Structure 1
Amino acid sequence: MTLPLILASTSVFRQQQLRTLGVDFTAAKPMFDETPLPHETAPNTALRLAIGKAQSLAQIYPQHLIIGADQVAWCHHTQLGKPMSVEKAAAMLRELSGQRIEFYSACCVLDTRSGSLKSHVDTTIVQMRELSDAQIARYLAREPDAIYCAGAAKSEGLGAALLRRIDSTDPHALIGLPIFWLVDCLNDFGLEII
């Protein structure tokens, strides 16, 4: 018997990715502090947050598979989160103009019945175009959801125009979920996608 699936995320982007796979799931808000720890590497932050989000819902969903996910961007020796305001997004995009950015997309699946946990971190390298202040302002006016994206670059939308190049083994990871890994993992837990 396949356990019911929970997505420990309120991200509309991740929810849409799961809907595309055609699986039944419930989205639930994780109760977990997402503050990075001092001296923590970006991939470790992403993985710790993904696991923490899944584990935060384990008591509520004791007979479920819980997907936890998080993404951290890294540039200039600094972790970049979600700007959450247009002003912060504009400042972030000015900093990132013409830069190489590493995106670490972490995902885990927790079987709360058995306690089994599988996890993965996918790395995507992005080269940003040189951007003028006018281009940044137009982008943010046309792509208001960018403030909820790590690095303010919503690559699946107009944010693609900000990018010169993407190097990745899974193009879905940049959106928020490393789908290639997740499909294999869910299959391992008995939930076949196809």
Structure 2
Amino acid sequence: MSHETIYRSLFIHARGALKKELLEHLRRTRAMRRSRHHTQKTDDHGRIRETVSISERPATVEDRAVPGHWEGDLLCGSANSQIATLVERQTRYVMLVGIPSKDSETVINALIKHATKLPQELYKSLTWDRGTEMAGNKRFTVATDIQVYFCDPQHPWQRGSNENTNGLLWQYFPKGTDLSVYSQAKLNAVARRLNERPRKTLGYETPAERFQQTIASTG
């Protein structure tokens, strides 16, 4: 993902009147289900060491008072394919990262590379579940100065913005899809569509608009 691609997507504004049909489309109607991927990641043999608990996360992160704090996870498809999904807690801004393999070294390398595309003011922490793909989280923190916090075991709602976003993403990537066929350009396009969707929780502004305001305030 290039700098040009990211910053072009930040300044896209939703146009026209907000229709009732669109508002209804934004709401998820299906109950959230725990994925097989989540179960596999949280069994006794899959726990990772050297984690910083979410209980140690600053209160300013919890109440979304300041920007730059993200939630992340792997969205898994067929044929051992996956993409990293990242959601900024205050603005609900979404970024998607293609991940060729879910072994920890590959995931951490991809997240480190991606983290360099944002200013430090906009990427201060990352909250993840206890999947083994984040076993190298200390290396990520050393390389980026971004602290990683881990949810309690089997508590996916502790990164609720990310869970909700993953539910929305299934509209674009049907379950059972081989996610490896999507280029980074395609992932960027899907993220842009989500970021242009007005959100009730944002007063019907879009994540892109809120994120642009954040950039302006930190510039």
TM superposition score category, shorter chain reference = under 0.3
Higher strand share: 1
Q: TM-score, normalised by structure 1?
A: 0.27
Higher helix share: 2
Q: Which has the higher contact order (CA 8 A, sep 6+)?
A: 2
